[in-house]
Amino acid sequence: MSGGATLDIEELTRRVTEIFALAGLTPLQAETVAGVIVAGERDNCKSHGIYRIDGCLRTLAAGKVEPKAEPVLTDDGSSIIRVDAKGAYSPAAFAIGAPVLAERAKQQGLAALVINTCTHFSALWPEVEALNDMGLAAIAMCPSYSAVAPSGGTAPLLGTNPFAFGWPRPSQPPYVFDFATSIVARGEIELHRRAGDPLPEGWAIDAEGQPTTDPEAALDGAMLPFGGHKGSAISTMIELLAGAMIGDLTSPEALDYLGSTEILPRHGELILAFSPERFAAGRGDPFGRAEKMLDAIAGQGARLPSQRRFAARKISLSEGISLTGEEMASLDALRDTAARIGQKT
């Protein structure tokens, strides 16, 4: 396969947005979905880059996402801002809710954004980073669909349930982590399957609840939580707070709704935004104190999370995003697929 190319971010954004527009998404949905996918590619975070387009289109073709939906914001003046995505992809809902969330967090010190009934595929770090850019600390979490056995359990029940946190840093990218509460992201198992590589020990159990290193068997069985019973507990917290509490689907309910893990999950999301100035209330400079802590971690030679992403971003911003011939061809093929889907919707 030949034809690799280096695209600048605007050009890749244009191409990916066009794919989703052709597929029938509203301009807001197409732009915001393309935004998070290009951000993934920009940061060399391949499992959330253009690799995700195919799943988005399959979910659309299956009628499990609403391409024409316009998310609706409800604000009753409390600490909770709600956006009903009406079945749209989550980034559109976040785009509508984030400015109101940020304003409320600055006003009240602390506020939450609840997103309901969205189709979800994106990493959470673009969202926490967007809030960090507004000077806020943020936590984001959501269920997914049953793929992980609880600690001590035997079958998929919990989702891979990502948990993300971001803290704004002066004059440099934020402190950000975003991880699956499974021992790895589901995408990692997929990548092993595609590559024909066995899984490391301890990642998964098979359909009989026995340990396995076979990616196919793992996809038929269950992944395991990170950190044993502690990771399992955090994943359960996410089911409760970002599922049951916000009146939206838990991971088993999302799987029941879809009937398949081949399609992107529909559920809700919970985002908390904190104003460090309001929390510090004049007791010193919270950002300066944080820098001392973060510098001390890095000073031991311990890597801060997301540094690999930020290094890749720096290169992408100055030199563009390099795609292989295979990736360029896949963009063309996805464009054709999107056009066919768009004609039917």
Active-site residue list = 47-48, 188
Provide the 8-state DSSP code for 109: S
What three-state secondary structure class fits 146? coil
Look up residue 199 and give its amino acid. Answer: L
Binding track over 97-116 against a copy of itself, x by CB under 8 A: ----------xxxxxx-x-x
Closest to a copy of itself by CB, 58 vs 278, is: 278
Residue whose CB is less far from a copy of itself, 60 or 114: 114
CA 237, distance to chain mean position in Å, is 18
- Our separate counts of H helices and E strands in the chain read 13, 12
Nearest to 158 by CA among 137, 183, 133: 183
Q: Does 150 bind a copy of itself (CB under 8 A)?
A: yes
227 binds a copy of itself (CB under 8 A): yes
Q: Is 230 in the site for a copy of itself (CB under 8 A)?
A: yes
The binder of a copy of itself chosen from 279, 308, 314, 325 (CB under 8 A) = 279
Strands (E), 42-195: 72-75, 80-84, 110-119, 137-141, 162-169, 172-180
CB atoms within 10 A of CB 226: 18
Question: At closest approach, how far in Å is the CB of 12 from a copy of itself?
Answer: 29
Selected from 1, 297, 311, 317, the binder of a copy of itself by CB under 8 A is 297
Which residues in 57-120 belong to E strands, given as ranges? 72-75, 80-84, 110-119
62 binds a copy of itself (CB under 8 A): no
Residue 300 touching a copy of itself (CB under 8 A): yes
Contact positions with a copy of itself (CB under 8 A) in 154-173: 154-155, 157, 165, 167
- Residue 257 touches a copy of itself, criterion: CB under 8 A: no
**Tokens in use for 313?**
């971003």
Helix (H) or strand (E) holding 308: helix 307-319
Report the alpha-carbon distance of residue 25 to residue 90 in Å, rounded. 13
Residue 63 interacts with a copy of itself (CB under 8 A): yes or no: no
Q: Quick check: 175 binds a copy of itself (CB under 8 A)?
A: yes
The mark string for 81-100 relative to a copy of itself (x by CB under 8 A, - otherwise) is -x------------------
